[in-house]
Amino acid sequence: PTVYKYVSETGNVAFIDEVIPFANKDEGTVYEHLKRAIDFSMNHLGKHGMPAGLYADWNDCLNLGGGESAMVSFLHYWALQNFIELAEYLNRTEDAEHYKKVAEKVKAACDRELWDKEWYIRGITKKGKKIGTMEDEEGKVHLESNAWAVLSGAADHDKAVKAMDAVDKYLYTPYGILLNTPAYTKPDTSIGFITKVYPGLKENSAIFSQPNPWSWAAEYKLA
């Protein structure tokens, strides 16, 4: 999305075909870098069809034991939408059609695996346990997955409204929006280090400045 935004703002379309080195000394065009980034997520899926969290996603205290991340899934869908629009603009029709099909699969998996009656769950541990569900006593509602379900465009309107209503109902405080609630108090390595941190510290039901604007932007998108 950053490359897409840069090109759309500057009009420097030639940048897309500029050759840039990879970290391993290989090289490829910016366009090839974008394709590899998208393909990486598709090539590292868990058993539910969600991109693997690997060591962590944005929340490095919530690594799901190497499970599947809802946030990465929604970010992947968002990246796909940007790439498809770029490919269409460049008349690279074959790529645009291919990644439209990929995006459809990602959206279907998100809808099938991540929606839980009133909000989107935060992820699935490597052992297959879904976290951020209505049945959870701790870590019941999470900000990241719900805001990005809306921002990415993966959530349909009714679910998007319910998801942000849940953020408002459960995570809003006069001081900012909590990352999750209720706080974790029982250590669980399958979920991550977040469960070993005191409530209200680090990512365990604390308020972070970075993700609060995600909620504002999501609400604005629904307005």
For 81-103, the pLDDT digits (tens) are: 999 999 999 999 999 999 999 99
Positions marked active-site: 60
State the burial class of residue 23 (Cβ atoms within 10 Å of its Cβ: 0-12, 13-18, 19+): exposed
pTM over 0.85: yes
- pLDDT of 166 strictly over 80: yes
- Cis status of the peptide bond prior to 51, with omega within 30 of 0: no
pLDDT band at 124 (very low <50, low <70, confident <90, very high): very high
Q: Please tell me the distance from the alpha carbon of residue 63 to that of residue 112, in angstroms, as a whole number.
A: 22
